[in-house]
Amino acid sequence: MRKEHKPLFIKRLEQWCNHYYVQYNIRPQFDHLGKTPFLLKPRHLQLTGKHLNAGDHLHVICDRNKPVSLSTWSSKQQQGHISIGDYCLISPGVNISSAVGITIGKACMIAADVSISDSDWHGLYNRTRPFRCSAPVHLKDNVWIGARAIIGKGVTIGKNSVVAAGSIVVNNVEDNCVVGGNPAKIIKQLKPERRMLSREFLFQNADERYYLDQQNALHAWLLHGNSFCHWIKTRLLPSRKD
């Protein structure tokens, strides 16, 4: 479709259903989930295991064809955990799997189809013992991971750093730099003295009610004038104008 034809009352009904689903299905699966989570198509968020924690204003975009997966695994020797800071964005197709620990700082952005794992899951010689080859992963504050990047075990990515799309990161990344390639190497240094706006800026001086009111006002403007009958028509018999 060239535009959104959905009427406002349908959009608000969807929002209510999503809110109900998040509060009574998704939230209990987290050990902690902060205030005002925004989950688009939350039925396609796959959560496995325990020790899942996320901060305030978590933004997860799921899709039927690209679900988001957060999973932790247990053994006699170790227990995986995933900790996600405030203001983070997780895009469709992201897969985060932990055997010992993955920590994601605040205001991080993870683009589509990114894979983050803290384990090789099988040894080179003993492939029957999956938990002997693991090391924690740490993304510091305001890290941006580009689409289809892979973050391997034992990696720490420094504050404000960017991982280019399609990169494979197997070594630590310094603060304030851009890395890319396979294996990822520094291709640019950022200037730490320059002012940098992160996702945290979007939520400054805004309480939960303000954030929801802003969302509702945006939807009212985008969907103004849409009728139920025309929406049904576009679903069944769309034209070039639709």
Candidate list 51, 59, 122, 219, residue with the active-site label: 122
CA dihedral 162, 166, 168, 171 (to 10 degrees): -10
Distance CA(90)–CA(96), nearest Å, equals 10
**Which token pair is 213?**
């009111």
Kindly tell me the burial class for residue 72, based on how many C-beta atoms sit within 10 Å of its own C-beta (0-12, 13-18, 19 or more): buried
15: CB partners within 8 A, 6+ apart: 219
Kindly give the residue spans of alpha helices, DSSP state H, lying in the chain: 8-21, 208-222, 228-236
Distance (Å, whole) CA 219 – CA 213: 10
Respond yes or no: is residue 122 known to be catalytic: yes
Burial of residue 205 (number of CB atoms within 10 Å: 0-12, 13-18, 19+): exposed
Is residue 102 within 8 A of residue 110, CB to CB? The reply is no
What is d(CA 215, CA 35) in angstroms, rounded to the nearest whole number? 15
Kindly report the CA angle at 223 between 218 and 224, in degrees rounded to 5?
100
Q: Which two tokens stand for residue 225?
A: 């004038």
Active site residues: 122
